[in-house]
């Protein structure tokens, strides 16, 4: 049975005991003052009223005062313990999602203990370099994290009034991004990819090479040793998990408070959201996804940004795989409305052995203009980017026309655009391991743009 003080009720008849304000007796004073308060006996309530099991959900009846998002501990007949969370409340009925699955749950013998608290995770600087599961528990066989505080795992939304407009550019080492789709510190920009494309390699490369271009005097989170990577994997296989873990260990990302958050794969998250929605028998939306998927995705993406009065920042690069390479699918479609651009990984470039296979035409960075230019990158950065876009777009049109009329029917300008197209993809997009994006751009053949 747990005892907790009743807030707002004080026993006025009990005299206040005189104690010193500080010193060794401070703890004794707190205990003495606690003895003058009223206490309420409130044990954790345990129920054996499971009325149904549907997929990952357990339905309980006759629950007294259930709370939304409350954590529930389930004990199976064989003693196995599992954890769940209240997703829906209707009177005395509660719908609980079991994190470990519902296989083996007996409706008559399974006991459910309501904790009265939400899911919290320990936070501390000791978390840097560690690996955790979705509940915040370490899974790298390391010591228990000594928490400085326990915070709601869902976090708190950022007040739009307190946001700072992103201005400083994050250098990724990829010419197609740095030169033509520059990322600002505090921006959220997804990578649109598909099955079989090297989006994991691109994300790992960004983690290895990420750093701020301009080191402002009013921030303290620009140094390499203070640039932390937060990588969250959802629904990935063991091979992908091992790839990222070994890559982070080799490049030192796990030893490095400017945050770069990589989320993969958001498509798996959306599919899980649809599965839970179907189990709850909710009215489906487009392609069976719930109508609130936009709100749910925005709740994750809007964590990125900078806050006035604080030095830290969160730059978010979620990765999602488009089913059947369809950019109009609800997942990338809704993501594009929330985020500030996208990086498009192209299958045709990948089939031609071009790495990274980033198609710059459908790619976009809406905050690029505020992160480049004189005093930040180069004075001619925007002009070079616009010129590359224009010539590459014309080159793609000429390439399509060549497939119809043949190369003999092309003009000299058209042939020059074709040459530019080929060298742009081979020299600029698939850049060498060392080089400057601006120098690569100016080294391309002359063109009549």
Query: What SS3 state is found at 386?
Result: helix
Residue 43 scores a pLDDT above 90:
no
List Cα–Cα distances, 391 to 1, 177, 362, in angstroms: 74, 17, 15
Least confident stretch, 120-134, 178-192, 241-255, 293-307: 241-255
The sign of the CA dihedral 362, 366, 371, 373 is: positive
Q: What dihedral angle (degrees, nearest 10) is formed by the CA atoms of 133, 135, 139, 141? A: 160
Residue 253's pLDDT is 58
Q: Is residue 243 part of a domain?
A: yes
How far apart are alpha carbons 151 and 53 in whole angstroms? Answer: 30
Of 31-45, 72-86, 390-404, 415-429, the range with the lowest mean pLDDT is 31-45
Instruction: Report the pLDDT averaged over residues 342-362.
Output: 95
39-41/3-5 β-pairing = antiparallel
- In this structure, the answer to whether residues 396 and 359 fall within a common structural domain is no
Q: Quick check: pTM over 0.85? A: no
Measured distance CA(215)–CA(9) in Å, rounded: 53
Residue 11 has pLDDT above 80, yes or no: no
Residue 139 covered by a domain:
no
Q: Taking residues 122-138, report their average pLDDT.
A: 83
The last residue of one of the domains, among 370, 403, 424, is 370
H or E stretch covering 394: helix 381-405
Statement to judge: residues 252 and 335 lie in one domain: yes
Which pLDDT value is given to residue 132?
A: 87
Report pLDDT for 76: 94
294 and 342 housed in the same domain = yes
Torsion region of 229: left, alpha or beta (phi above 0 gives left; psi -120 to 50 gives alpha): beta
Q: Which residues pair with 90 in a beta bridge?
A: 93
Tokens of 182: 């520059």
Q: Do 49 and 35 sit in the same domain of this protein? A: no
Does residue 163 share a domain with residue 278? yes
Structure-token pair, residue 159 = 């007040």
Classify residue 133: in a domain, yes or no: no
Q: What is the CATH number of the domain that holds 114?
A: 2.40.10.170
Same domain, 385 and 311: no
Q: What is the pLDDT of residues 334-346, one digit of tens each?
A: 999 999 999 999 9
- Domain hosting 395: range is 381-442
Residue by residue, DSSP assigns 226-295 as GEEEEEEE-S--HHHHHHHHHHHHHHTGGG--EEEEEEE-HHHHHHHHHHHHHHTTPPB-GGG-BTTHHH
| Least confident piece of the model among 53-62, 247-256, 316-325, 387-396 | 247-256
pLDDT exceeds 80 at position 29: no
Q: Is residue 221 part of a domain?
A: yes
- In a domain? residue 73: yes
Same domain, yes or no: 184 and 35? no
Write down the mean pLDDT value for the chain: 82
Task: Say yes or no to pLDDT of 359 above 60.
Answer: yes
Residue of 245, 178, 185, 180 whose CA lies nearest to 214: 185
Does any domain span residue 449? no
Please indicate, yes or no, if residue 127 is contained in any of the structural domains. Answer: no
Bridge partners of 50, per DSSP, are 60
Query: What is the rounded CA–CA span in Å between residue 120 and residue 132?
Result: 13
Distance separating alpha carbons of residues 145 and 87, to the nearest angstrom:
28
Question: Each residue of 52-73: pLDDT tens digit?
Answer: 998 899 999 999 888 999 999 9
Confidence band, pLDDT 50/70/90 cuts, at residue 161: confident
| Domain match, 320 and 287 both | yes
> Does the residue 407 lie in any domain?
yes
Task: Using the predicted structure, report yes or no on whether residue 218 has a pLDDT greater than 60.
Answer: no
Same domain? 204 vs 55: no
Strand partners, 120: 152
Residues 233, 288, single domain; the answer is yes
How far apart are alpha carbons 178 and 309 in whole angstroms? 28
Whether 58 and 33 share a structural domain: no
Alpha-carbon dihedral sign for residues 174, 177, 182, 188: negative
In b/e form, how buried is each residue of 311-347, taking b as 16+ CB within 10 angstroms?
eebbbbbbbbbbeebeeebbbbebbbebbbbbbbbbe
Quote the pLDDT of residue 214: 60
pLDDT at 376 > cutoff 50: yes
For range 200-206, the mean pLDDT: 90
Mean pLDDT of 396-414: 92
Q: Examine the fold and report which residue of 339, 370, 401 is the final residue of a domain before the chain moves on.
A: 370
Domain tally for the chain?
A: 4
Indicate whether 52 and 165 sit together in one domain: no
């Amino acid at each position: 049975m747990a005892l907790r003080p009743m807030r707002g009720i004080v026993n006025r008849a009990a005299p206040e005991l005189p104690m010193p304000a500080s010193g060794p007796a401070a703890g004794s004073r707190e205990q003495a003052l606690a003895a003058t308060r009223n206490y309420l006996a409130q044990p954790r309530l345990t129920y054996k009223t499971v009325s149904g099991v549907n997929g990952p959900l357990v339905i309980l009846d006759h629950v007294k005062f259930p709370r939304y998002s409350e954590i529930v501990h389930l004990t199976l007949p064989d003693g196995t313990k599992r954890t769940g969370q209240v997703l829906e409340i209707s009177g005395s009925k509660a719908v609980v999602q079991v994190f470990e699955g519902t296989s083996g749950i007996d409706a008559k013998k399974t006991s459910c203990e309501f904790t009265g608290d939400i899911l919290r995770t320990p936070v501390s600087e000791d978390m840097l370099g560690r690996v955790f599961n979705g509940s915040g528990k370490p899974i790298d066989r390391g010591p228990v994290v000594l928490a400085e505080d326990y915070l709601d795992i869902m976090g708190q939304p950022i007040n739009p009034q307190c946001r700072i407009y992103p201005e400083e550019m994050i250098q990724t080492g990829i010419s197609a991004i740095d030169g033509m789709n520059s990322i600002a510190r505090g921006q959220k920009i997804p990578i649109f990819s598909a099955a079989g494309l090297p989006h994991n390699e691109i994300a790992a490369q960004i983690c290895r090479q990420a750093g701020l271009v301009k080191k402002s005097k009013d921030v303290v989170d620009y140094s390499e040793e203070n640039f932390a990577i937060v990588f969250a994997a959802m629904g990935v296989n063991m091979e992908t998990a091992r790839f990222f873990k070994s890559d982070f260990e080799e490049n030192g990302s796990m030893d490095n408070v400017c945050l770069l958050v990589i989320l993969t794969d958001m498509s798996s998250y959306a599919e899980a959201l649809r599965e839970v929605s179907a189990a709850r028998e909710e009215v489906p939306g487009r392609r069976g996804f719930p109508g609130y998927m936009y709100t749910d995705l925005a709740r994750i993406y809007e964590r990125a940004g900078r806050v006035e009065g604080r030095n830290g920042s969160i730059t978010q690069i979620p990765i999602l795989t488009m089913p059947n390479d369809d950019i109009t699918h609800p997942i990338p479609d809704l993501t594009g409305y929330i985020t500030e651009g996208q990086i498009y990984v192209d299958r045709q470039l990948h089939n031609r052995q071009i790495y990274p296979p980033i198609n710059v035409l459908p790619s976009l960075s809406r905050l690029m203009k505020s992160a480049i230019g004189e005093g930040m990158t180069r004075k001619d950065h925007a002009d070079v980017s616009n010129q590359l876009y224009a010539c590459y777009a014309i080159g793609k049109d000429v390439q399509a026309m060549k497939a119809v009329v043949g190369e003999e029917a092309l003009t000299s300008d058209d042939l020059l655009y074709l040459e530019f197209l080929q060298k742009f993809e081979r020299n600029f997009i698939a850049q060498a391991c060392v080089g400057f994006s601006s120098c690569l751009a100016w080294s391309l053949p002359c063109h009549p743009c």
